[in-house]
Amino acid sequence: MTEIIDGEAVAADVRDAVSEEVSRLSDAGVEPGLATVLMSDDPASETYVSMKQRDCEEVGIESFHVEIDADAPAEELYETVDDLNERDDVHGVLVQMPVPDHVDKRTVLRRIAPEKDVDGFHPENVGRLVAGDARFKPCTPHGVQKLLDAYDVETEGADAVVVGRSDIVGKPMANLLIQKSPTGNATTTVCHSRTEDLEGKLADADIVVVAAGIPEFVDGSMLKPGATVIDVGINRVDADTEKGYELVGDVDYESAADVAGAITPVPGGVGPMTRAMLLFNTVRAAGIQHDVAVDLD
Ligand SMILES: NC(=O)C1=CN([C@@H]2O[C@H](COP(=O)(O)OP(=O)(O)OC[C@H]3O[C@@H](n4cnc5c(N)ncnc54)[C@H](OP(=O)(O)O)[C@@H]3O)[C@@H](O)[C@H]2O)C=CC1
Ligand SMILES: Nc1nc(=O)c2c([nH]1)NC[C@@H]1CN(c3ccc(C(=O)N[C@@H](CCC(=O)O)C(=O)O)cc3)C=[N+]21
């Protein structure tokens, strides 16, 4: 029987743990706060940001939101980040990606104070992750790691394939999988658009994480029977639904579920975990900034 990995359920557990730590911080006089910044008219980005605000409310994190016109000068975004870095009531700063083309993404990521960088995208935090001394693990890979742990998927000694090498998913995912720790220790192959023999790599993989941004890119015929399949992809494809689209992953769910040992659905798989780990990082950030111990790992 294929196990369906329930991201909503695991995310709810993470939120419960976060809520408890929010109360403890509050007892110590600290009210954790997260600021989201949106510089985009993209409807998907708007949806994600409003979901993040709702999540904050649920666990008792104060949320602040700044919206910047997509055609405003880049300086406006940089200065907004500077202001949020200065505020004592803001412990985490997240600039929703992608930013418009006239904004330099690297400048944005470097401008966020590393101790408020709850996405974990600042070079200092990337460096710490790679060095095995992570402060903020990037939310999506961290969420995947939690899912694997919650479902007792053995990473130690496993052959893992990550499809995609983006800075926000593929690269940090591979880094976590190779880490010398019980939740790592996988032998990890990272595939991308120049990979010659993706099928050959996938055929041997015990754990497959797909983050390619291509709807239903990986199907069941490419998988090793019993493999654990983590579908990070979220694609809006036109469909005759109320919203005019439906969400599909980067994995062809039907055929993959026939072959896999365990699989994440879309929606309800990795997405809710990404949001839960953002709350987790925000509480950690508040703890670090106020020197209060936070019991989350
Ligand atoms: N569930 C969640 O919480 C999140 C979901 N997402 C979703 O995950 C997906 C990936 O996001 P992201 O990492 O930001 O995407 P990017 O577009 O930044 O990266 C896609 C990666 O896939 C690789 N790729 C593209 N085509 C192929 C191919 N034919 N074979 C192998 N690899 C290929 C690219 O290779 P190359 O580097 O050579 O171009 C690139 O490394 C998207 O669907 C996104 O919406 C993203 C973040 C969070
Ligand atoms: N600075 C930054 N940090 C990010 O973490 C970040 C980002 N920019 N830009 C875009 C990607 C994408 N991302 C998602 C988060 C949650 C869901 C999510 O909750 N998905 C729900 C469904 C959502 C829906 O209904 O549309 C699910 O899969 O069940 C999806 C995608 C975070 N990202």
CATH number, residue 53: 3.40.50.10860
Measure the CA–CA gap between 172 and 280, rounded to whole angstroms. 17
Q: Which residues contact 23 (CB under 8 A, 6 or more apart)?
A: 60
The answer to whether residue 41 is domain-embedded is: yes
Question: Domain containing 157 — which CATH number?
Answer: 3.40.50.720
With the most atoms of ligand 1 within 8 angstroms of its CB, the residue from 194, 232, 235 to mutate is 232
ipTM (interface pTM): 0.99
Q: Which domain holds residue 161?
A: 139-270
Question: Which residue has its alpha carbon closest to ligand 1 atom 45?
Answer: 234
What does each C-alpha distance from 106 to 78, 98, 180 come to in angstroms? Answer: 11, 12, 29
pLDDT of residue 58: 98
Q: Is 249 in the pocket of ligand 2 (CB under 6 A)?
A: no
User: Dihedral angle at the C-alpha atoms of 210, 232, 4, 184, nearest 10 degrees?
Assistant: 70
Question: Which residue has its alpha carbon closest to ligand 2 atom 1?
Answer: 96
Decide which of 116, 150, 185 is a domain's last residue: 116
pLDDT of residue 7: 98
pLDDT of residue 142: 98
Residue 97 CA to ligand 2 center (angstroms) comes to 10
Measure the CA–CA gap between 40 and 51, rounded to whole angstroms. 16
Is 166 labelled a binding residue? yes
Domain identity same for 58 and 144: no
The answer to whether residue 247 is domain-embedded is: yes
On whether the CB atoms of residues 236 and 266 are closer than 8 A, the answer is no
Question: pLDDT tens across 206-237, in order?
Answer: 999 999 999 999 999 999 999 999 999 999 99
Is 164 labelled a binding residue? yes
| Nearest ligand (C-alpha, residue 147) | 1
pLDDT of residue 99: 98
Residue 235 CA to ligand 1 center (angstroms) comes to 11
Across 169-210, the runs of DSSP E, i.e. the strands, are: 187-191, 207-210
From the number of C-beta atoms within 10 Å of its C-beta (0-12, 13-18, 19+), residue 266 rates as buried
Measure the CA–CA gap between 265 and 272, rounded to whole angstroms. 11
pTM: 0.98
The answer to whether residue 106 is domain-embedded is: yes
Segments in the chain below pLDDT 70: none
The answer to whether residue 297 is domain-embedded is: no
Domain identity same for 143 and 110: no
The answer to whether residue 217 is domain-embedded is: yes
pLDDT of residue 297: 86
Q: Which of 108, 36, 45, 116 is nearest to 78 (CA)?
A: 108
Domain identity same for 32 and 104: yes
User: Dihedral angle at the C-alpha atoms of 261, 262, 265, 268, nearest 10 degrees?
Assistant: 170
The answer to whether residue 210 is domain-embedded is: yes
Residue 143 CA to ligand 2 center (angstroms) comes to 12
pLDDT of residue 221: 98
Is 234 labelled a binding residue? yes
Question: Which residue has its alpha carbon closest to ligand 2 atom 14?
Answer: 271
Domain identity same for 256 and 145: yes
With the most atoms of ligand 2 within 8 angstroms of its CB, the residue from 94, 116, 234, 266 to mutate is 234
How many other CB atoms sit within 10 Å of the CB of residue 98? 11
Q: Which of 221, 258, 292, 267 is nearest to 51 (CA)?
A: 267
On whether the CB atoms of residues 233 and 170 are closer than 8 A, the answer is no
CA angle 209, 178, 95 (to 5 degrees): 65
Q: Is 50 in the pocket of ligand 2 (CB under 6 A)?
A: no
The answer to whether residue 173 is domain-embedded is: yes
Whose tokens are 């969420």? That residue is 143
pLDDT of residue 245: 96
With the most atoms of ligand 2 within 8 angstroms of its CB, the residue from 5, 230, 274, 277 to mutate is 274
Question: pLDDT tens across 264-295, in order?
Answer: 999 999 999 999 999 999 999 999 999 999 98
pLDDT of residue 11: 98
Helix (H) or strand (E) holding 35: strand 33-38
The answer to whether residue 148 is domain-embedded is: yes
Phi, psi at 228, each rounded to 5°: -90, 125
Instruction: Count up the domains in the chain and report the number.
Output: 2
C-alpha 230: how far from chain center: 13
On whether the CB atoms of residues 202 and 220 are closer than 8 A, the answer is no
Burial 124-150 (b: 16+ CB within 10 A, else e): ebbebbeeeebbbbbbbbbbbbbbbeb
From the number of C-beta atoms within 10 Å of its C-beta (0-12, 13-18, 19+), residue 240 rates as exposed
